[in-house]
């Protein structure tokens, strides 16, 4: 909770924080890249470490007065090493995209070839997408998924041997299946490429043993710290034993790429909060939490499909699901997102593989179970939530989405108005609120 000082000094911001707290408490946060951090993490993030400047690395700072910052950063590093079983960790990247950028900066020159999963197939912007630096500065080759929604490993191998990329990415933001790290490792070795696993979404699952670890098969691991790992918004770059065997200078190259290559002073309050989150993830109960995320995801998938909702790949093996709304017509993701928000469920519209519509009006919904699991919900609640989601989508996705662009704006406005005034959605919102009251948030 927010203290008295903020209320006294800035009532406007204090009020907005209170409103956001209530929004989260009274609704189901189901965007799979979001979670609820502990009070301990938030206290570290709001600590006096925010006042310090610490360019450099532990015991090699450019400024004085960093003896306790050094201890906090070293603690975060050692905890990450233990948690993930890696040889080297850099905890200073400001967020996920800068962490990935540091890998490019450490290994590649402009124009070098890189491979990654296509954004439209569930990949990430920084894995070579055309509008991102990774697709503009580097020669990007993108691989896809098969019509069944699973990664096309045959295509990955064919492209890797044909184009001989210097760097291959494995990892995604909207892929509901377990990543085949071992197969990617063999392909990268055959092509002579570095292999980087971006586990930003599944880091908590990997840490908790609920997803296979990439560490034995890849050279570099990058991750954010605020998704399934349940920490503050931040990131890490890790080097594996295999990475050091390929290039003994790889840890030094990564560190130099982060600082001074891309960043100045690290965010010490963020580092301290990352250390707290890693400490929490090292506790035995975190393994139960990680496994429950996956069990909840499978239960939710089953409920949705039983209630007539189509899923990409017909299920989930991790923390997220991707709903395919094309049976209602193309471009219905926006309607689904708006309707679910009215019912008190926060998701995000998302493209699906081979989407017949545009990324601005996608035909899918991305959702997940990390935040619900943090609240203590289990399979029983997932079954009910799946039914609520299905009922909502069937109502909202029945509205027209015109092919003609000149008719689209008016049709969307009309659909949103109907959704806003839908009494059945108000009733479903009441059910959601009861569920939220049963599993209160921010109690720890």
- Separation in Å, CA 39 to CA 42, 46, 280, 289, 444: 5, 10, 12, 17, 6
Q: Of 42, 146, 212, 233, which is the active-site residue? A: 233
Please, are residues 59 and 73 in contact by the beta-carbon 8 Å criterion?
Answer: no
148 is catalytic: no
Residue list for the binding site: 119, 123-125, 358-360
**d(Cα 267, Cα 46) in Å, to the nearest integer?**
11
53 is catalytic: yes
- Separation in Å, CA 306 to CA 63, 391, 397: 60, 12, 18
Q: Of 224, 225, 228, 271, which is the active-site residue? A: 224
The answer for residues whose C-beta is within 8 angstroms of residue 233's C-beta and 6 or more apart is 95, 224, 225, 226, 270
**d(Cα 273, Cα 279) in Å, to the nearest integer?**
10
Instruction: Measure the CA angle with vertex 319, ends 160 and 271; round to 5°.
Output: 85
Q: Of 21, 34, 52, 55, which is the active-site residue? A: 55
- Helix axis angle, 67-84 to 268-281, nearest 10°: 40
The answer for residues whose C-beta is within 8 angstroms of residue 285's C-beta and 6 or more apart is none
Task: Count Cβ atoms below 10 Å from residue 326 Cβ, excluding itself.
Answer: 16
186 is catalytic: no
Q: Of 7, 53, 87, 341, which is the active-site residue? A: 53
227 is catalytic: yes
H or E stretch covering 409? helix 405-420
Q: Of 79, 157, 166, 227, which is the active-site residue? A: 227
Torsion of CA 326, 329, 335, 339, to 10 degrees: -70
**d(Cα 263, Cα 328) in Å, to the nearest integer?**
46
Residue list for the binding site for (6S)-5,6,7,8-tetrahydrofolate: 119, 123-125, 358-360
Closest C-alpha among 169, 173, 268 to residue 222: 169
**d(Cα 430, Cα 434) in Å, to the nearest integer?**
6
H or E stretch covering 140? strand 139-143
- Separation in Å, CA 242 to CA 83, 196, 247, 279: 17, 11, 9, 25
62 is catalytic: no
399 is catalytic: no
Catalytic positions, written as ranges = 53, 55, 198, 224, 227, 233
């Amino acid at each position: 909770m927010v203290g008295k000082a903020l209320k006294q000094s800035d009532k406007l911001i204090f009020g907005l924080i209170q409103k956001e707290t209530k929004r989260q408490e009274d609704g189901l946060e189901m965007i799979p890249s979001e979670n609820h951090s502990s009070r301990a993490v938030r206290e570290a993030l709001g600590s006096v470490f925010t006042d310090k400047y610490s360019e450099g690395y532990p015991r090699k700072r450019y400024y004085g007065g960093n003896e306790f910052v050094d201890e906090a950063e070293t603690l975060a590093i050692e905890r990450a090493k233990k948690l993930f079983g890696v040889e080297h960790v850099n905890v200073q990247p400001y967020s996920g995209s800068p962490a990935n950028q540091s890998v490019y900066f450490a290994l590649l020159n402009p124009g070098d070839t890189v491979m990654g999963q296509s954004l439209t197939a569930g990949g990430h912007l920084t894995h070579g997408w055309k509008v991102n630096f990774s697709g503009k500065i580097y020669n990007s080759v993108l691989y896809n998924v098969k019509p069944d929604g699973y990664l096309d490993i045959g295509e990955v191998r064919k492209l890797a041997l044909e184009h001989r990329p210097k760097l291959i990415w494995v990892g995604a933001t909207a892929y509901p299946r377990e990543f085949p790290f071992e197969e990617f490792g063999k392909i990268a070795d055959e092509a002579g490429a570095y292999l980087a696993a971006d586990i930003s979404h599944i880091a908590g699952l990997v840490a908790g043993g609920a997803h296979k670890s990439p560490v034995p098969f890849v050279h570099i691991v990058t991750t954010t710290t605020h998704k399934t790992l349940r920490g503050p918004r931040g990131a890490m770059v890790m080097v594996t034993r295999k990475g050091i065997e390929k290039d003994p200078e790889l840890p030094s190259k990564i560190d130099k790429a982060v600082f001074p290559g891309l960043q100045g002073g690290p965010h010490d309050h963020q580092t301290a909060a990352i250390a707290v989150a890693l400490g929490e993830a090292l506790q035995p109960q975190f393994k139960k939490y990680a496994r429950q995320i996956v069990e909840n995801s499978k239960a939710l998938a089953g409920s949705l499909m039983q209630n007539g909702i189509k899923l990409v790949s017909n299920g989930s093996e991790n923390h997220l699901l991707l709903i395919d709304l094309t049976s209602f017509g193309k471009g219905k993701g926006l309607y689904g997102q708006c309707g679910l928000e009215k019912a008190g469920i926060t998701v995000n519209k998302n493209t699906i593989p081979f989407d017949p519509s545009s990324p601005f009006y996608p035909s899918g919904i991305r959702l997940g179970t990390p935040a619900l699991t943090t609240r203590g919900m289990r399979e029983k609640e997932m079954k009910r939530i799946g039914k609520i989601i299905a009922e909502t989508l069937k109502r909202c996705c029945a509205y027209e989405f015109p092919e003609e662009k000149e008719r689209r704006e008016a049709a969307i406005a009309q659909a949103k108005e109907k959704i806003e005034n839908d009494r059945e959605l108000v009733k479903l919102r009441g059910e959601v609120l009861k569920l939220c009251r049963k599993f209160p948030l921010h109690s720890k």
